[in-house]
Structure 1
Amino acid sequence: MKFLIDNWYLVLTALVSGGLLLWTSVRGKAGGIATAEAVRLINREKGVLIDVSEPDEFAAAHAGGARNVPLSVLTGTTDPIKQLPTNKALPVVLMCKSGTRASRAAGILRKQGYANVVALSGGLAAWREASLPIEKSAA
């Protein structure tokens, strides 16, 4: 007990660092996944890649094979959207230009009953940085 009292600063440091490690591990899943994990979900678990960018952004550049379901459409309707998988247990990987809208869209889809929804951290920029395929829609 004397050791703990004499070295309270060490105990405090250990508790704070442990708390920060726990917080980052919990926050990591909510904050999004890396491109490698996204590719694994798409290739091995039949995941669906959804780009929640607006149509003009999607036309300018999007990940290869992505479907476009703008965030504005997700927030504005309760009707089923044909670009979304009907099997709500399939992994759904959401992305946008930076990852911010994808995180919001993930929350919306979870409320609609999709069990395995994740956002891509870094969005299209991270996809490009990983040298993954980018497509452009015909104008």
Structure 2
Amino acid sequence: MQAYLQFVANNPIPFVALVFNVAMIVWVEFSRMTSGVKHLSAGEVVRLMNSDDAIVLDVRDDNEVREGMIGKPKHIPLSSLAKRLVELEKHRDKTVIAYCRSGNRSSQACRMLRKAGFEKVVNLRGGMLAWRDANLPVRKR
């Protein structure tokens, strides 16, 4: 134990950085677990799309959409989502599957939807990158 205390005393900056990083990881994981948003793999999303009356929400920017889409999504860029939530009101009772390029922006969109009262919200974990890695079909405009 004495050796650990001596190490911390001799290396305060790396130790503080370590504590900060661990705290951030715990915070992010706690937030993810308590957000009420499901984070599903591409395969799980396909099963959900086939078995549930779900709406697919693409939150990527316009230039990214040109690269291809999953199914026939409702396209609302994340930057416009707060202003355009009214467009999703008629789908409030359906499962909303959100995706972006890597899953980060769609995770933010899912949290926004949950705060707006949408109960069934799913994030495509890994986004379009995971979808393509799973060799799933992509539709061009």
* TM score, norm. by length of structure 2: 0.69
Residues 44 and 79 of structure 1: is their aligned pair in 2 closer, same or farther, counting only changes over 3 Å? closer
- Note the residue ranges of structure 2 that are not aligned, 5 or more in a row: 1-28
Which amino acid is 1:117 matched to? V
Instruction: Quote the Cα distance in structure 1 between the aligned partners of 2:47 and 2:89.
Output: 18
Residues 55 and 46 of structure 1: is their aligned pair in 2 closer, same or farther, counting only changes over 3 Å? same
Higher share of residues assigned helix = 2
Partner of residue 130, structure 1: 134
Is residue 43 of structure 1 aligned with residue 50 of structure 2? yes
Instruction: State whether residues 31 and 103 of structure 1, in contact with CA within 8 Å, keep that contact through their aligned partners in structure 2.
Output: no
State how many pairs are aligned.
Answer: 112
Alpha-carbon shift at residue 89 of structure 1 (Å)? 2.1
* Correspondence for 1:60 among 54, 67, 75: 67
Alpha-carbon shift at residue 130 of structure 1 (Å)? 1.5
The secondary structure found in structure 1 opposite 2:135 is coil
Alpha-carbon shift at residue 59 of structure 1 (Å)? 1.7
* TM score, norm. by length of structure 1: 0.70
- Note the residue ranges of structure 1 that are not aligned, 5 or more in a row: 1-22
Query: What is the percent sequence identity of the aligned residues?
Result: 34
Is residue 69 of structure 1 aligned with residue 72 of structure 2? no
* Correspondence for 2:122 among 118, 121, 126: 118
Partner of residue 86, structure 2: 80
CA RMSD of aligned residues (A): 2.5
Partner of residue 104, structure 2: 100
Which amino acid is 2:102 matched to? S
The secondary structure found in structure 1 opposite 2:66 is helix
